[in-house]
Amino acid sequence: MEEVRIGVYVCNCGTNIAKVVDCDAICASLSKMPNVAVARTYKYMCSTPGQEMIVEDIRKNNLNRVVVAACSPRMHERTFRKALQTAGINPYFFEMANIREQCSWVHENEETATAKAEALTRAAILRVAHHEPLENLYADMCPSTLVLGGGIAGLSAALELAESGHPVFLVEKTDRLGGNLARVDLTAPHLYSARDLLTDRIARVRANPYVQLMLESELKSLSGFVGNFTAIVGAAKKNGDPHKEHVLEVGSVVVCTGYKEFDAGRVTHFGYGKLPNVVTSFEFEKMLREGNIRTKEGRIPEYFAIVHCVGSRSRDFHGYCSRVCCMTALKYAHEIKSAIPNSYVSDLYIDMHAFGKGHEDFYRGSSEAKTLFLMYGKNEHPVIKRAQPGEESEMLIEVNEQLSGETIEIPADMVILMVGMEARSESGDVARLVNISQDKDGWYIESHPKLDPVATTTEGIFIAGTCAAPKDIPDTVAQARAAAARILGRIAKQKIEIDAVFAEVDEDLCSGCRVCNSLCPYSAVEFDEEKKRSRVNSALCKACGACVAACPSCAIKARHFTDRQIFAQIEGVLR
């Protein structure tokens, strides 16, 4: 066997690592390990000169293994694998030690952090010696896409794909397209009509021969792998023929299932459900769309109050900001003033979040239009009560105004509660069907929050719009089209690369006991009745290793996560 020659690179990451970890000392100590041919530190290993250093060392010093101790492999493993490829050696002859996220960023004591970083790097060195060269596999890329959800996100993604000439199955649970946006009147800050935004898109979707529209339908199951999924779509639960199911072959899935509004009834102190003219933002949108702003009693209200952050930014309900409510509230102030010029609008907010393009101007415009802005404390809340008969308004709102420091009472005939967004109740079911994760609030988790915001941890499944987190229309549309762009890129290549990391059965060692057969979530482990052997379909395998750990004959090998590699790592961290 070829002599193992390892290059070890300890990254300073500017001062991110070097300020707590003594990188030079680690290098000096580890350079004495057997098989370590080169050991260096550098300011930023991921930079071009950093990568070039590795490439040059591989060529000059005949390195055949590389260890980089730096950030998380989830960050830069691919970067460095590419560098190995550039230098002409197999990219899997690489191992990363995570000495930033899991060391320098979480420990302050230099001595213990350095010892830990050294142990992690040592483990990587011992492990990499056992690495084997692996080649990626290729599979065909099915050019059809399944889009779940017919809101603005789903419409945008579907159009992007279909107008490029690729088939789209657009699945919508309800009997109409448009999603939550179809319930909105105008949009902030430009006051474009939501109806206009949607009708054009819906017409294009309906007219496009590449879109197969499936209303009142939902995904029942999804199997297969990126480029080669089989989806079963059937009638949505409550309506339609439950036996009518379509089997669809798709290459990718875009999940655009959106959000649901927070149930204002959960907040007791605003009197929602008891006071007839306390309404939610969506109920008010309906009045705006109908051009008929009236109290329950049929009067035209004079005093309006808008309350922000209902269900959002709250200890009791959702901790997060729903992002669109502030500007929507200002939009209401505009629309009220233009519909009922003599009305008075009070806007009760915690902080005014006007972060988007044109939002600050919109806020200023609202102030100039004589909206009364009142700030209330984050963990306090305005109290809404019925006014005494004979008062000029129907309700009174008591608020501890933060800027003046005074408790004041304002009149209101209609109170609009700006209800936040929350994950849909069935979002967990969808997550399980397409195998993606949710965060603590139920939002779908992206592959990387900054660098890969529309992909998920399951290859071929993308997320766009408010199913991933509250966001406004431009962000939603951008995400939907970004997901479509990612898919189009793959369709253009026609082939998709399948990770070389999967399990494989050594037929000579397998005894056909079938312990592993029921363990695979993807049914990748098959039993050959003729040979009485189990085998793994590598295209279906997603490398979890459940069968590997279970195999009592050690007949199943987890490529790149072999027993031997992990044993070496255990020895390394403990030595």
Partner 1 sequence: MSPEKLQIALYWGAACGGCDVAVLDTNEFILDVAAAADIRLWPIAVDGKYKDVEKMQDGELDAAFYNGAVRNSENEHIARLLRQKSKILVAFGSCSHMGGIPGLANFTSKDKILDTAYLNNPSIEPGNKTVPVPETKIGDDETLDIPEFYDQVYKLDDVVDVDYYLPGCPPAPHQVKAVLLAVVKGELPPKGSVVGAADFAVCEDCKREKKEKKVTRFYRPWEIIQDPTQCLMDQGILCLGPATRSGCGVRCPDTGQGCRGCYGPLPGVVDHGAKSLSAVASIVDGKTPEEIRGILKGIPDFAAIAYRFGAPASLMKRNEKQ
Partner 2 sequence: MSFEPKIVGFLCNWCSYAGADLAGTSRIQYPANVRVIRVMCSARIDPTFVLKALRDGADGVLICGCHPGDCHYTEGNYKALRRYELLKQTLCAFGIEEARVRLEWVSASEGQVFAEVVTDMTEKIRALGPSRFRVEQENASQPVHQEVTK
- 191 near partner 1, rule: CB under 8 A: no
Q: Which of 101, 163, 263, 459 binds partner 2 (CB under 8 A)?
A: 101
* Total binding residues toward partner 1, as defined by CB under 8 A: 23
Q: At closest approach, how far in Å is the CB of 388 from partner 1?
A: 57
Contact in structure between 511 and 534 (CB atoms under 8 Å): no
Q: At closest approach, how far in Å is the CB of 563 from partner 1?
A: 8
468 binds, among partner 2, partner 1, none (CB under 5 to 8 A by kind): none
- 511 near partner 1, rule: CB under 8 A: yes
- 243 near partner 2, rule: CB under 8 A: no
**Residue 269 CB neighbour total at 10 angstroms:** 10
The region of 11-19, 394-402, 487-495, 514-522 touching partner 1 under the rule CB under 8 A is: 514-522
Q: Kindly state the tokens that stand for 511.
A: 């005894």
- 514 near partner 2, rule: CB under 8 A: no
Segment holding 67, helix H or strand E: strand 65-70
Question: Tokens 């798709």 appear where?
Answer: 250
191 binds, among partner 1, partner 2, none (CB under 5 to 8 A by kind): none
Binding mask 415-454 for partner 2 (x = CB under 8 A): -------------x---x--x-xxxx----x---------
The region of 107-115, 148-156, 243-251, 327-335 touching partner 2 under the rule CB under 8 A is: 107-115
- 279 near partner 1, rule: CB under 8 A: no
509 binds, among partner 2, partner 1, none (CB under 5 to 8 A by kind): partner 1
- 492 near partner 1, rule: CB under 8 A: no
Contact in structure between 326 and 349 (CB atoms under 8 Å): yes
- Cβ distance to partner 2 smaller for residue 331 or 424: 424
35 binds, among partner 1, partner 2, none (CB under 5 to 8 A by kind): none
- 123 near partner 2, rule: CB under 8 A: yes
3-state secondary structure of 230: strand
Instruction: Give per-residue burial for 511-538: e unless 16+ CB within 10 Å, then b.
Output: eeeeebeebbebebbeeeeeeebbbbeb
**Residue 499 CB neighbour total at 10 angstroms:** 16
How far the first Cα of the chain sits from its last, in Å, is 26
**Residue 57 CB neighbour total at 10 angstroms:** 19
Question: Tokens 């179809």 appear where?
Answer: 182
- Cβ distance to partner 2 smaller for residue 104 or 393: 104
The whole-angstrom separation of Cα 69 and Cα 188 is: 48
The whole-angstrom separation of Cα 433 and Cα 408 is: 51
- 357 near partner 1, rule: CB under 8 A: no
| DSSP string for 246-298 | EEEEESEEEE---EEE--GGG--TT-BTTBTTEEEHHHHHHHHHHT----TTS
Q: Which residues bind partner 1 (CB under 8 A)?
A: 508-519, 527, 532, 546, 549-554, 563, 567
Q: Which residues bind partner 2 (CB under 8 A)?
A: 72-74, 98, 100-103, 105-109, 112-113, 115-116, 119-120, 123, 428, 432, 435, 437-440, 445, 457-458, 501, 519, 521, 542-546, 548-550, 558, 561, 563-564, 566-571, 573-575
